[in-house]
């Protein structure tokens, strides 16, 4: 562990402040709670909110997994995992099943999470209405009044222009039938995993100084219309490495003549499938 810094970098007072905000967040699912976000030694926009939330909930016996784009080996995931290995000395893993705390950017693991796991999302823009109304003073009022008509109008306009809702990621959800929430920029494909998840889901936005939460077993619905129900989409291929035809796929350009390889974005899921295939 790094000398001179407290366990998991933040001092205990700060962690307590964040935990108080998280308790409030759990009590009002999907509602954004302001918190005294600190300057972290990593840049804003690179996961400072997630890092502060992880630091606040992490204990010495926890096992931490960090993913970015579903993968454990992407540079920013490596950097954040190292940060906690260094400042908290906790055990880290790449296996979803082994982790007690999972910090993620842009994905939810394919493997179903359990009730003894916490997933921490890095959030760039916690305000789901920001693209429709830039003033946070106004959006606060809209949330207070559950005045979400503007978002439904946006979805309707998409359908009239394109035939579909054109939001592919950070697809807005209604939490506990009350608060409109940004699920962070996960692909819409992952949205159904938010619904009635057994794991506690925590969201941290450092630069915007907000946390919010989805307690276990909370209904989370992606916004849609009865005649235009929400549809999760993925590339219509099987993984070129493990053969999965249900996982979310990355598209990798293999040459300059149109060659493509589609493979799982969740690297742990993909490796697990390949290992059990060779074992058989």
Partner 1 sequence: MAYVAVKGGERAIDNAHAWLAEARRGDPAVADIGTDQIAQQLGRAVDRAMAEGSLYDRDLAALAIKQAQGDLIEAAFLLRAFRTTLPRFAASLPLETGAIRPLRRISAVFKDLPGGQVLGPTTDYTHRLLDFSLTDGTPPPAAPLTAAEPEAMPRVHDILGREGLIEPDAPDGAEPGDLTREPLAFPAGRDLRLQALARGDEGFLLSLGYSSQRGYGNNHPFIGEIRMGEVAVEIEPPELGFAIEIGDLVLTECQMVNQFGGSKTTPAQFTRGYGLAFGQGERRAMAMALVDRSLRAAELGEDATAPGQNAEFVLGHCDNIEATGFVEHLKLPHYVDFQSELETLRRIRAESL
Closest to partner 1 by CB, 26 vs 249, is 249
- Kindly state whether residue 51 participates in binding partner 1, applying the rule CB under 8 A: no
Considering only 95, 207, 228, 274, the residue that binds partner 1 (CB under 8 A) is 207
Task: Please identify, using beta-carbon distances, which residue of 36 and 217 lies nearer to partner 1.
Answer: 36
Residue choice 105, 143, 193, 273 for contact with partner 1 (CB under 8 A): 105
Nearest to partner 1 of 115, 251 (CB atom): 251
Cα distance between residue 202 and residue 134, in whole Å = 24
- Does residue 68 touch partner 1 according to CB under 8 A? yes
Our CB check for partner 1 shows the closer of 62 and 266 to be 266
Residue 248 engages partner 1 in binding (rule: CB under 8 A): yes
Query: Interface with partner 1 includes 91 (CB under 8 A)?
Result: no
Residues that bind partner 1 (CB under 8 A): 5, 11, 34-41, 43-46, 48, 68-70, 73-79, 82, 105-107, 124, 135-137, 162-164, 166, 168-170, 185-189, 207, 209-210, 233-235, 241, 248-252, 254, 261, 263, 265
């Amino acid at each position: 562990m790094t000398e001179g810094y407290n366990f998991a970098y933040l001092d205990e007072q700060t962690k307590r402040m964040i935990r108080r905000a998280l308790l409030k967040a759990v009590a009002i699912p999907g509602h954004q709670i302001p918190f005294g976000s600190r300057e972290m030694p990593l840049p804003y926009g690179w996961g400072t909110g997630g890092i502060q939330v992880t630091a606040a909930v992490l204990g010495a016996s926890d096992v931490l997994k960090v993913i970015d784009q579903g993968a454990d080996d992407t540079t920013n995931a490596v950097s954040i995992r190292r940060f906690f290995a260094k400042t908290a000395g906790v055990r880290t893993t790449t296996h979803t099943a082994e982790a007690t705390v999972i910090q993620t950017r842009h994905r939810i693991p394919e493997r179903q999470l359990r009730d003894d796991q916490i997933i921490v999302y890095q959030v760039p823009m916690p305000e789901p209405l920001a693209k429709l109304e830039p003033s946070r003073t106004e959006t606060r009022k809209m949330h207070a009044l559950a005045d979400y008509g503007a978002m439904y109008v946006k979805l309707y306009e998409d359908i009239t222009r394109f035939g579909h809702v054109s939001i592919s990621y950070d697809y807005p959800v209604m939490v506990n039938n009350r608060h409109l929430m940004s699920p962070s920029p996960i692909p819409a494909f992952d949205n159904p995993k938010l619904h009635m998840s057994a794991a506690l889901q925590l969201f941290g936005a450092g630069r915007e100084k907000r946390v919010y939460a989805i307690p276990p077993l909370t209904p989370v619905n992606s916004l849609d219309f009865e005649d235009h129900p929400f549809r999760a989409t993925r590339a219509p291929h099987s993984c070129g490495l493990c053969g999965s035809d249900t996982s979310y796929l990355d598209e990798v350009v293999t040459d300059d003549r149109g060659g493509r390889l589609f493979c799982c974005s969740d690297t742990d899921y993909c490796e697990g499938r390949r290992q059990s295939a060779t074992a058989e």
